[in-house]
Structure 1
Amino acid sequence: MAMTLRLDYQEQEALKARAAAEGISMQDVARRAIRDYVARSEHRSKVSTATELILDVHAQAIERLGT
């Protein structure tokens, strides 16, 4: 799937510099950044869900510890 990514001058220069430093294309840097962002977001979501479950399951114990 093709898409157009519009960057301002500073973003483009930062992307270009990172690509040059890593010896890869600007497209590859952008794709890595997107994959990393998605992975971090999914991880945060899983941690949040697990936290809510633990708080629900252990609410009484947590309340007793806090008092």
Structure 2
Amino acid sequence: MAMTLRLTDAEDQALTEQAAREHRSKQEVAKAAILEYTSRRTRSRDDLLAKIGRENAGALKRLADS
């Protein structure tokens, strides 16, 4: 799927410089950044839900039993 990504001049410059450092295209760097961000957010959400489950196990069990 195609999309347009609108960046400020500073964001475009940062992306250009990062791509040059990695000898990759700006598209490759941007796609990798998106995948890293979404993976990190998913892990963070999963960790938080697990923590809530552990910390509230007793209350959750009582709710399930009622």
Q: TM-score, length-normalised on structure 2?
A: 0.85
- Match for residue 51 of structure 1? 51
After superposition, the CA RMSD in angstroms is: 1.1
Distance 1:58 1:22 in 2: 50
Distance 2:11 2:29 in 1: 12
Q: For structure 2, list consecutive stretches of 5 or more residues without a partner in the other structure.
A: 60-66
Q: Calculate percent identity across the aligned residue pairs.
A: 39
Distance 1:48 1:58 in 2: 17
Residue 58 of structure 1: CA displacement? 5.6
- Match for residue 2 of structure 2? 2
- Match for residue 20 of structure 2? 20
- Match for residue 31 of structure 1? 31
Large movers: runs of 4+ above 4 Å: none
Q: How many residues align?
A: 59
Distance 1:24 1:17 in 2: 10
Q: For structure 1, list consecutive stretches of 5 or more residues without a partner in the other structure.
A: 60-67
